[in-house]
A and B are shown apart, each in its own frame.
Chain A
Amino acid sequence: MNFEEAKDYLLQKARAMGLEAEVLATETREMSLSAFEGRLEEITQATQGGIGVRVVVEGKVGYAYTEEKTPEALDWVMQEAYENALLQTGGDAFIPAGSALGRHDLLGEGLSAALEEKQAAALAVEATLRQDARVKQVPRTAYQEQEVEVVLGSTKGASGGYRAGVSVLMGSAILEGGGAPKQSWNVDASREFHALEPGKTALELIERTARLLDARPLKTGKYRAYFEPKAFAQLLGVISFLFSAKNVLEGKSLLAGKVGEQVASGLVTIVDDPTLPGGIASRPFDAEGTPSRPLVIIENGLLKSFAHNSETARKMGVESTGHAQRGYKGVLGVGHSNLFLKPGAGVRLEEGVLVTEMMGLHAGANPISGDFSLQALGLKLEGGEVAYAVENFTVAGNLLTLLQSISAVGSELEWEYWGMALGAPMVEVAELSFAGA
Chain B
Amino acid sequence: MLSETLVGEVLSRARLGGADYAELYVERWRRRSLRMLSGEVKEAASGLEYGAGLRLLYGSEVVYAYTNDLSAQSLLELTETMVKLKGRAGQVDAQGRGGLDFRKQAAQGLHAPEVPLSAKDRRYRLERLLEAEAAARVAPEIKQVQTQLLEWDQEVLVATSEGKWVEDRRVRTRYVVTAIAQGEAGMQTGSVGPGKSVGLELFELYPPGMVGRQAGEQAMTNLRAKPAPAGTMPVVIGNAFGGVIFHEALGHLLETTSVAKKASVLCDKLGEKVASPCVTYIDDGTTPHGWGSSEFDDEGLATERTVLIENGVLKSYMVDRWGAWRTGLRPTGSGRRQDYTFAPTSRMRNTFIAPGDTPKEKLFEGIEFGLYAKDMGGGQVKPGSGEYNFAVKEAYIIRRGRIEEPVRGAMLVGKGPDSISKIAAVSSDLETAPGMCGSLSGSLPVEVGQPHLLISEIVVGGQA
Contact = CB atoms under 8 A, between A and B. Distances in A.
A434 B82 CA distance: 51
Q: Which of B227, B380, B415, B463 has the most CB of A within 10 A?
A: B463
Given A89-B39, A435-B459, A48 B67 contact: yes
Given A36-B261, A359-B387, A373-B461, A62 B44 contact: yes
Contacts of B386: 180
Interface stretch (B169-177, B183-191, B359-367): B183-191
B187 A368 contact: yes
Contacts of B414: 392
A220 interface: yes
Given A180-B415, A396-B461, A45 B47 contact: no
A329 B86 CA distance: 33
A373 B61 contact: no
A83 interface: yes
Contact of A77 (B48, B62, B263): B48
* Size category, A interface: 35 or more
Given A46-B66, A48-B66, A174-B385, A369 B187 contact: yes
A360 to B, nearest CB: 4
B413 A393 contact: yes
Contacts of B63: 42-45
Given A63-B43, A66-B50, A360-B379, A373 B62 contact: no
B193 interface: no
Interface string B111-143: 000000000001100100000000000000001
A45 B459 contact: no
A6 B60 CA distance: 40
B65 A46 contact: yes
A84 interface: yes
B85 A43 contact: yes
Interface string B308-344: 0000000000000000000000000000000001010
Nearest to A32: B64
Given A80-B46, A360-B389, A394-B459, A366 B189 contact: yes
A73 B48 contact: yes
A205 B39 CA distance: 49
A392 B146 CA distance: 35
A362 B461 contact: no
Interface stretch (A189-197, A249-257, A283-291): A249-257
Contacts of A435: 230-231, 459-462
Contacts of A73: 48, 50
B459 A437 contact: yes
A145 interface: no
B44 A87 contact: yes
Contact of B380 (A41, A42, A76, A359): A359
Contacts of B66: 44, 46, 48
Given A46-B66, A46-B341, A437-B232, A364 B60 contact: no
B46 A394 contact: no
A44 B343 contact: yes
B380 A371 contact: no
A42 B37 contact: no
A433 B34 CA distance: 39
B232 A87 contact: no
B127 to A, nearest CB: 11
Given A63-B44, A181-B265, A396-B411, A375 B387 contact: yes
B446 to A, nearest CB: 15
Interface in A240-290: 250-252, 254
Contacts of B228: 373, 396
B89 to A, nearest CB: 14
Contacts of B379: 360, 363
A373 B411 contact: yes
B18 to A, nearest CB: 14
Contact of B411 (A63, A330, A394): A394
Interface in B438-462: 459-462
A411 interface: no
A87 B34 contact: yes
* Size category, B interface: 35 or more
B144 interface: yes
A330 B46 CA distance: 9
B368 interface: no
A306 interface: no
Contact of B390 (A52, A88, A360, A437): A360
Nearest to A89: B40
Interface string A168-212: 000010100000111110000000000000000000000000000
A12 interface: no
B262 interface: yes
Contact of B263 (A89, A174, A436): A174
B301 interface: no
A368 to B, nearest CB: 5
Interface in A372-404: 372-375, 377, 391-398
B186 A220 contact: no
Contacts of A160: none
A44 B231 contact: no
Given A181-B385, A359-B389, A363-B390, A372 B409 contact: yes
Interface in B380-404: 380, 382-391
Q: Which of B41, B81, B143, B262 has the most CB of A within 10 A?
A: B41
A67 B68 contact: yes
A313 to B, nearest CB: 17
Contacts of A87: 34, 41, 44, 122-123, 126
Contacts of B40: 88-90
B333 to A, nearest CB: 22
A81 interface: yes
A84 B48 contact: no
Contacts of A372: 409
B51 interface: yes
Nearest to B389: A375
A364 B228 CA distance: 13
A68 B65 CA distance: 18
B268 to A, nearest CB: 12
B64 A42 contact: yes
Nearest to A434: B230
Contact of A67 (B51, B180, B258): B51
B432 to A, nearest CB: 19
A43 B57 CA distance: 11
A66 B47 contact: yes
A359 B143 CA distance: 31
Contacts of A181: 265, 384-385
B410 interface: yes
B46 A433 contact: no
Nearest to A396: B463
B262 A137 contact: yes
A67 B64 CA distance: 20
Given A139-B261, A392-B459, A435-B230, A374 B385 contact: no
A50 interface: yes
B336 to A, nearest CB: 17
19 contacts: A43-B62, A43-B86, A45-B63, A64-B45, A66-B50, A87-B126, A89-B40, A137-B263, A137-B384, A139-B261, A181-B385, A183-B263, A252-B144, A363-B379, A366-B189, A368-B188, A372-B409, A392-B413, A436-B231
Q: Which 9 pairs of residues, A with B, have the shortest CB-CB distance?
A: A394-B461, A435-B230, A183-B384, A363-B378, A375-B389, A84-B44, A174-B384, A139-B263, A80-B46
Interface of B: 28, 34-35, 37, 39-51, 60-69, 81-82, 85-86, 122-123, 126, 143-144, 146, 180, 182, 186-189, 222, 227-228, 230-232, 258, 261-263, 265, 341, 343, 377-380, 382-391, 408-411, 413-415, 459-464
Given A250-B144, A254-B187, A375-B387, 17 more contacts: A41-B60, A42-B64, A43-B82, A46-B341, A47-B67, A81-B46, A87-B44, A139-B263, A183-B384, A360-B389, A360-B391, A363-B377, A368-B187, A368-B188, A369-B186, A372-B409, A392-B415
